[in-house]
Amino acid sequence: MFPASGQARYGDGKRTMTNEIWGTVRQELLKSVGHNNYRNWIEPLEFAHIDDGVALFHVPSLFMGDWVQRNFGDQILSQIGKADDRVNRIEFRVSSVKSPRPAAQKRANAPTRAPQPEGDLPGAALDDRFTFDSFVVGKPNELAHAAARRVAEGGPVTFNPLFLYSGVGLGKTHLMHAIAWELQDRDPGIRVVYLSAEQFMYRFVQALRDKQMMDFKQLFRSVDVLMVDDVQFIAGKDSTQEEFFHTFNALVDQRKQIIISADCAPGEIEGLESRIVSRMQSGLVVDLHPTSYELRLGILQKKVEQFRPQFKGVVLADGVLEFLAHRVTANVRVLEGALMRLFAFGSLVGREMDLALTQECLVDILRQSDRKTTVEEIQRKVSDHYNIRLSDLIGPKRVRTFARPRQVAMYLCKQLTQRSLPEIGRRFGGRDHTTIMHGVKRIEELRGKDSQIAEDLELLRRSLEEQ
């Protein structure tokens, strides 16, 4: 099936995959994925080696590895399988050899410390997309961003640890990497270690097994800055917690900066020892809030700039970004995925991405975010907002103080949920669908004339979407 050419020839499935064979496989992939995809996703892959049935590739970023795995993984595997039948899985890893970053190069006069042997730091690779430059700041994350900036300046430690927490996909890892990049730019000799709590545990277990505990301890105690991501992972894992606690204390005693992230506040992590909890709380604890519409739009605008060079010729129609910011509210990762998909789709269809195409392309993501707002949530928010009881909002009383908020709630249910009028009626104390329709119409009218109502609607809509 493949052209016979010297070493790269294969056909009876018994040859070993080599770089040359990868070259041939790539040519086959070019045929099946098309030029654009090839250039964007296949060409940058660097074949590393095969080990135990796993073909390993180096990729420039985590994101890229994810995307290729999800979208082209099967095709790549099946093509490789034809060349080397021992391969049953492919994996992508961010190449650990970091090319010096431009900012670091410019700092020719930065003080340098004695160079550290490269290989001995126990950290994970940093994603070079995660910098302060690419981080968009808005109300929901401004405090976390300011704290991260402060830590990234280096100098005497003012709060220790910095504890960042939030739901998934809101920028914790991004901020941690940004701090690490910045510290390294300021001082190329600094020993910054970033790793996930899971990797910390893995290293710890490995050290125990190999009887290398002294080395392990020394290594972690010799860093200047330690960052442990997703620390909730070690909750309930007793000996790992214990070791983490000692490492933590030793570094704090030496006035070394520690940065921790988790999916909730220290006190809420179930199974985390109380002495660790109180240590965590002794520094600065900040959370990243769910995104607002403005922040989402800002992030989209920034990402569009980043995607442009990769996807020349893809045009997004006016209003598409606003539509995304409005509808894709889950978290930044999902938002980014949606935009990425739009670009990829746009480069395939070669047409302007208007709203109709956007909706078609993102139908699953949009359906998911639709599910988010429920009639009950709307009722709760509206009654809180107008300071009336839920039972009065839903109940039969027709005084204006209840009737108007009730209509506002009906209107929002119509706008923000997929429920039909009769369904909404049932949830408003069994009212008829014509009553709901009347309420919705009334608010639509008022919205244009009454600025207070317009403002209430906007506030409520936002806070419902931010959940």
Q: Which residues bind Mg ion (CB under 5 A)?
A: 172-173
Shorter beta-carbon distance to ligand ADP: residue 243 or 336: 336
Query: What is the rounded distance in angstroms from the CA atom of residue 379 to the CA atom of residue 410?
Result: 9
Query: What is the rounded distance in angstroms from the CA atom of residue 79 to the CA atom of residue 112?
Result: 47
Report which residue's Cβ sits closest to ligand ADP: 171
465: left (phi over 0), alpha (psi -120 to 50) or beta: alpha
Minimum distance from residue 289 beta carbon to ligand ADP (Å): 11
Answer yes or no: are the C-beta atoms of 137 and 166 closer than 8 Å.
no
Selection from ligand ADP, Mg ion, none that 130 binds (CB < 5 to 8 A by kind) is: ligand ADP
Selection from ligand ADP, Mg ion, none that 233 binds (CB < 5 to 8 A by kind) is: none
Is 76 near ligand ADP (CB under 6 A)? no
Give yes or no for a cis peptide into 161 (omega within 30° of 0). yes
Give yes or no for a cis peptide into 111 (omega within 30° of 0). no
Name the 3-class secondary structure at 353.
strand
Shorter beta-carbon distance to ligand ADP: residue 174 or 381: 174
Query: Which pair of structure tokens corresponds to residue 363?
Result: 């139908």
Shorter beta-carbon distance to ligand ADP: residue 142 or 392: 142
Pick the binder of ligand ADP from 90, 193, 286, 299 (CB under 6 A): 299
Minimum distance from residue 336 beta carbon to ligand ADP (Å): 5
Q: What residues have CB less than 8 Å from 338, skipping those under 6 apart?
A: 324, 328, 362, 365
Is 333 near ligand ADP (CB under 6 A)? yes
Is 373 near ligand ADP (CB under 6 A)? no
Pick the binder of ligand ADP from 84, 287, 336, 456 (CB under 6 A): 336
Minimum distance from residue 63 beta carbon to ligand ADP (Å): 6
Query: What is the rounded distance in angstroms from the CA atom of residue 138 to the CA atom of residue 135?
Result: 10
Alpha helices in 107-211, H assignment, sequence order: 142-152, 172-186, 197-209
Name the 3-class secondary structure at 352.
coil
Minimum distance from residue 170 beta carbon to ligand ADP (Å): 4
> Residues 93-132: x/- map of binding to ligand ADP (CB under 6 A)?
-------------------------------------x--
Query: Which pair of structure tokens corresponds to residue 27?
Result: 């040519």
Query: What is the rounded distance in angstroms from the CA atom of residue 433 to the CA atom of residue 423?
Result: 8
Shorter beta-carbon distance to ligand ADP: residue 73 or 138: 138
Shorter beta-carbon distance to Mg ion: residue 173 or 232: 173
Site for ligand ADP in 161-220 (CB under 6 A): 166, 168-174
Name the 3-class secondary structure at 187.
coil
Contact residues for ligand ADP, defined by CB under 6 A? 130, 134-136, 141, 166, 168-174, 299, 332-333, 336
